[in-house]
């Protein structure tokens, strides 16, 4: 006597159902359509020993029996309708060993319908590499089922499935969960009303709006049990899901172990080290250290070259073209201004070279993941790390990047603190001040100057995190969002992609920041070259009568600085001098501070303009910005740029909100002037206090 066994293959999408189906049926299969809908229906035949035939149905992938799509309805309708000609004698639930927990939810639901079930745990070939081990006999006992451990890829375990199907009559139909535990009142009432029906099946009929093949609807008057509101039913469904996961967790706690230290594939190995609780941070720290050291060592050569080139170009212009206002504008305003932009190209290019290599290689996602552990504690989202790291380029794209933080409070905090991170506009200021006041020695092979730069980056990041913490405490709302990050696989960075990023970022800097720097350089030159009243216009005769004994060269110097002091810009600088004196700055630095409220990077250009205007010294060595700043002295002969005033300036620039464009973008993103104003005032106060404390302590 030959009998046909109906087998349904059920499982979450991508667990390998179709692969199992192919392994069981080989070429004995056909693809049709479910009546009325365009969902593929795959059927096939599997020959078992003793002339038994199994009719195999490959059902569409489904996550649970709480249907939400057409595909899933197909599965539920079949399982709830005993009269369907395909109604399974045995359900084969296919799971992926790597996602067993999630996959078992559906298994427990089908089991509770009391359909004889076989559990196929597929992808067994991956267990070794992932360090997964399973106690199969224990798992079979806990789930009241029979298990086939299968790898369709290696064609292993297929015979086990066949044997289990053949013996389907010996399968237990003991359920996993007692449905009355979901909500005793409701389910006991249901049981009383329909004593001949299965409670869990009833529950599914009530909650699903699918067609159960007329029969059940006519047989049952379930309307009384649908009186509960839809949201109430949803709540019960959620309760059911939670109960099921509790059950699954308890089961897997005993029978499944994942020893990630045994995982053997390269990616898991790398992930384990790079996102390690301790080593992950240590490695990230050393990578940053290496990057900053490299920027220092490699960028100084082209930078010195550019610096010298523009200095001699300005010299040549002055000496070749006819003397006059235009030549001065060209040499002292325009060429100096362009030089002030071009000189930072090497540094910015190197920084973005490294950032884009980190991104392309897949390491950056690990950093985001790593930093999420810290960020959480400070009212920031893990996603805040992306804006904060992009902030090292420029606060403007960084503020825009906060858009993918769903939680408004976390997003606002991120926007408010992002300008603390060290953007590339601060880099020029940092570099020149560091070169001036930090000694050149090395510590363990690392230069003091590189270390200082790195400290400034850490300081900016630390301040951002610290103020986020304060803001989180000040702003009341409690809600936290969840953090999900896609971990791409590691790959060798594509040279082309890296190249494009470096080129684009550098171009943006030159065009966007460069525009402002150049424009302001020219405006500054004008403001510095003209002034109101006697003192400016008759500077020459005034200086000559006051200092009758000076040599020509010294006289020229004196006149130039006298003019600058009484130019328009000198007046502004002098006006604010009393306020900035306690920070260790004179009125010339004051001018730099004022102009850099437009954009920080203008500071260096400003000083370059001021000093090249202020010193008519023709000595070749004296012509670079750096040496001019180094030679700058107060009226009492003391150096202007000392360790104390230098650190004070560095701190001021680290904390102050000196960027009109960022304020504009914050206004746009928060839709009010309130937040950018809070940012401007708050950050300026912090900067002033930090600079004041630093100077008063160090002087």
Report DSSP letters for 265-331, one per residue.
SHHHHHHHHHT-TTHHHHHHHHHHHHHHHHHHHHHHHHHHHHHHHHHHHHHHHHHHSPSSHHHHIII
Stretch that binds Mg ion, among 13-21, 204-212, 469-477, 572-580 (CB under 5 A): 13-21
- What's the full length of the chain, in residues? 699
Side-chain half-sphere CA neighbours of 337 within 13 A: 22
- Nearest C-alpha neighbor of 605 from the set 509, 512, 691, 519: 519
What CA–CA distance (Å, rounded) separates 583 from 258?
A: 58
19 makes contact with Mg ion (CB under 5 A):
no
User: Could you say whether residue 122 binds ligand GDP (CB under 6 A)?
Assistant: yes
Q: Is 147 in the site for ligand GDP (CB under 6 A)?
A: no
Quote the least distance from Cβ 79 to Mg ion, whole Å.
18
- The span of 148-156, 219-227, 501-509, 561-569 binding ligand GDP (CB under 6 A) equals 148-156
- Could you tell me the two tokens for 403? 């858009």
Contact call for residue 172 and Mg ion (CB under 5 A): no
The one among 43, 71, 77, 125 contacting ligand GDP by CB under 6 A: 125
Q: Is the dihedral of CA 54, 60, 65, 69 positive or negative?
A: negative
Among 81, 95, 109, 152, binds ligand GDP (CB under 6 A): 152
Q: Select from 373, 414, 64 the least CA-distant residue to 242.
A: 64
What's 493's DSSP letter?
P
Characterize 36-51 residue by residue with b for buried, 16 or more Cβ atoms within 10 angstroms of its Cβ, and e for exposed: eeeeebbbbebeeeee
- Give min distance, CB of 74 to ligand GDP, in A: 14
Q: Tell me, by CB under 6 A, how many residues bind ligand GDP.
A: 16
Toward Mg ion, which CB reaches closer, 29 or 481?
A: 29
Q: Do the beta carbons of residue 628 and residue 612 sit within 8 Å?
A: yes
* Per-residue mark of binding to ligand GDP, 9-28 (x: CB under 6 A): --x-xxxxxxx---------
- Please state, in angstroms and as integers, the Cα–Cα distance from residue 295 to each residue in 28, 391, 448, 499, 650, following that order: 65, 18, 14, 17, 19
Complex with ligand GDP: residue 75 or 274, whichever CB lies closer: 75
Q: Decide whether 152 or 670 has the Cβ nearer to ligand GDP.
A: 152
Report if residue 578 touches ligand GDP, rule: CB under 6 A.
no
Query: Considering only 113-121, 146-154, 203-211, 361-369, which stretch makes contact with ligand GDP by CB under 6 A?
Result: 146-154
**Contact between 407 and ligand GDP (CB under 6 A)?**
no
How many other C-beta atoms are found inside a 10 Å radius of the C-beta of residue 426?
24
- Of 16-24, 280-288, 473-481, 530-538, the window that binds Mg ion (rule: CB under 5 A) is 16-24
- Taking CB under 5 A as the criterion, the residue among 1, 5, 18, 82 binding Mg ion is 18
Burial 59-79 (b: 16+ CB within 10 A, else e): bbbbbbbbbeeebbbbbbbbb
> Residues 44 to 63: which contact ligand GDP by CB under 6 A?
61
- The DSSP string of 515-532 is HHHHHHHHHHHHHHH--S
Indicate the residue among 108 and 122 with the shorter CB distance to ligand GDP.
122
Nearer of residues 152 and 418 to ligand GDP, judged by Cβ: 152
Residues between 467 and 526 with contacts to ligand GDP, criterion CB under 6 A = none
Q: How many whole angstroms from its chain centre is CA 631?
A: 44
With contacts defined by CB under 5 A, name the span among 18-26, 103-111, 193-201, 469-477 that binds Mg ion.
Answer: 18-26
Which one of ligand GDP, Mg ion, none is in contact with 275 (Cβ closer than 5 to 8 A by kind)? none
**Applying CB under 6 A, does 155 fall inside the site for ligand GDP?**
no
Should residue 272 be labelled a site residue for ligand GDP when binding is judged by CB under 6 A? no
Q: Could you tell which of ligand GDP, Mg ion, none binds residue 125, using a CB distance below 5 to 8 A set by kind? A: ligand GDP
- Separation CA 507–CA 338 (nearest Å): 14
| Chain contacts with ligand GDP (rule: CB under 6 A) | 11, 13-19, 61, 122-123, 125-126, 151-153
| Chain contacts with Mg ion (rule: CB under 5 A) | 18
């Amino acid at each position: 006597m030959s009998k046909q066994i109906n087998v349904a293959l059920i499982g979450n999408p991508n667990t390998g159902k179709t692969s199992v189906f192919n392994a069981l049926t080989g070429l004995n299969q056909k693809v049709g359509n479910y009546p009325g809908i365009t969902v593929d229906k795959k059927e096939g035949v599997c020959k078992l020993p003793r002339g038994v035939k199994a009719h195999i149905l490959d059902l569409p992938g489904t996550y649970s029996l709480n249907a939400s799509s057409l595909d899933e309805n197909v599965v539920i309708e079949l399982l709830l309708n005993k009269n369907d000609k395909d109604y399974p004698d045995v359900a084969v639930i296919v799971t992926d060993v790597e996602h067993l927990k999630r996959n078992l939810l559906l298994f427990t639901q089908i089991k509770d319908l009391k359909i004889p079930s076989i559990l196929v745990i597929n992808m067994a070939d991956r267990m070794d590499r992932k360090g997964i081990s399973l106690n199969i006999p224990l798992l079979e006992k806990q789930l009241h089922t029979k298990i086939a451990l299968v790898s369709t890829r290696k064609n292993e375990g297929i015979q086990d499935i066949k044997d289990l199907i053949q013996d389907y009559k010996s399968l237990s139909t003991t359920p996993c969960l007692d449905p009355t535990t979901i909500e005793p009142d409701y389910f006991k009432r249901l049981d009383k009303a329909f004593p001949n029906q299965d409670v869990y099946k009833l529950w599914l009929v009530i909650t699903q709006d699918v067609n159960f093949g007329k029969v059940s609807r006519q047989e049952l008057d379930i309307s009384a049990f649908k009186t509960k509101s839809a949201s109430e039913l949803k709540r019960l469904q959620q309760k059911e899901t939670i109960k099921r996961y509790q059950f699954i967790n308890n089961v897997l706690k005993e029978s499944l172990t994942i020893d990630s230290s045994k995982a053997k594939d390269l990616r898991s190995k790398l992930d384990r080290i790079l996102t390690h609780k301790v080593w992950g941070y240590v490695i990230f720290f050393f990578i940053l250290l290496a990057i900053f050291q490299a920027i220092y060592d490699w960028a100084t050569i082209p930078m010195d070259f550019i610096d010298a080139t523009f200095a001699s170009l300005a010299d040549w212009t002055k000496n070749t073209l006819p003397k006059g206002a235009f030549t001065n504008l060209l040499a002292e305003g325009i060429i100096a201004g362009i030089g002030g932009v071009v000189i930072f190209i090497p540094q910015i290019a190197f920084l973005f070279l490294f950032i884009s290599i980190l991104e392309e290689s897949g390491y950056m996602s690990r950093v985001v993941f790593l930093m999420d552990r810290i960020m959480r504690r400070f009212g920031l989202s893990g996603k805040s790390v992306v804006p904060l790291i992009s902030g090292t380029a420029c606060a403007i794209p960084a503020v825009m990047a906060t858009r993918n933080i769903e939680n408004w409070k976390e997003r606002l905090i991120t926007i408010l603190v992002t300008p603390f991170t060290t953007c590339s506009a601060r880099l020029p200021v940092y570099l020149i001040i560091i070169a001036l006041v930090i000694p050149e020695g090395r510590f363990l092979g690392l230069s003091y100057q590189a270390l200082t730069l790195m400290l400034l980056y850490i300081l900016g990041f630390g301040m951002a995190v610290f103020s986020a913490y304060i803001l989180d405490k000040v702003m009341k709302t409690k809600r936290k969002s969840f953090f999900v990050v896609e971990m791409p696989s590691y790959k060798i960075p594509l040279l082309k992609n890296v190249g494009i990023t470096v080129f684009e970022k550098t171009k943006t800097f030159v065009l966007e920041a460069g525009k402002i720097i150049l424009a302001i350089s020219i405006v500054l030159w004008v403001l510095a070259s003209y002034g109101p009243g006697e003192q400016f216009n008759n500077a020459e005769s005034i200086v000559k009568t006051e200092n009758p004994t000076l040599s020509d060269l010294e006289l020229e110097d004196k006149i130039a600085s006298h003019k600058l002091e009484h130019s328009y810009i000198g007046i502004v600088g002098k006006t604010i001098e009393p306020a900035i004196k306690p920070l260790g700055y004179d009125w010339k630095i004051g001018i730099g501070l004022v102009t850099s409220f437009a954009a920080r990077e203008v500071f260096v250009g400003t000083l370059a303009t001021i000093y090249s205007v202020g010193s008519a010294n023709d000595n070749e060595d004296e012509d670079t910005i750096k040496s001019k700043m180094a030679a700058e002295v107060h009226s009492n002969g003391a150096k202007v740029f000392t360790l104390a005033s230098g650190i004070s300036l560095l701190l001021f620039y680290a904390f102050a909100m000196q960027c009109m464009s960022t304020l504009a973008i914050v206004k746009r993103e928060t839709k009010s002037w309130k937040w950018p104003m809070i940012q401007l005032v708050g950050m300026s106060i912090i900067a002033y206090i930090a600079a004041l404390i630093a100077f008063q302590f160090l002087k």
